[in-house]
Amino acid sequence: MTILFVSSGFVGAEENQNLNNNVTYKNICGYCHDTGIGPEITGRKLPVEYTTYIVRHGFRAMPAFPETHVDKDALITVAKFIEAAPPLAERQAATSKE
């Protein structure tokens, strides 16, 4: 399985960057962590270092994702999103208002 990450190219466009991070999160992490398969990881302020370690090494039922599956830049970007993102219920409420 190969995952391709495409940058928006809009440096400094915070709203656009948050949207892209959310899409990356939703496509990779949210598949398990927003559906009850894995624990909810947003809204917990998990440090970037913790998230990147767990992603690379795995933890309990979560498999490791090597750099061939998630590149370093994409991993750091999504880890920053996870650290700052509100809990799932708040993200869903914000999405339903749009």
* List 1, 13, 62, 93, catalytic entry: 62
* List 1, 13, 61, 64, catalytic entry: 61
Q: Helix H segments across the chain? A: 14-28, 30-33, 48-57, 72-84, 88-97
Nearest CA to 17 among 27, 7, 30? 7
Residue 61 falls in the annotated catalytic set: yes
Coil, helix or strand at residue 25? helix
Residue 62 falls in the annotated catalytic set: yes
Residues involved in catalysis: 61-62
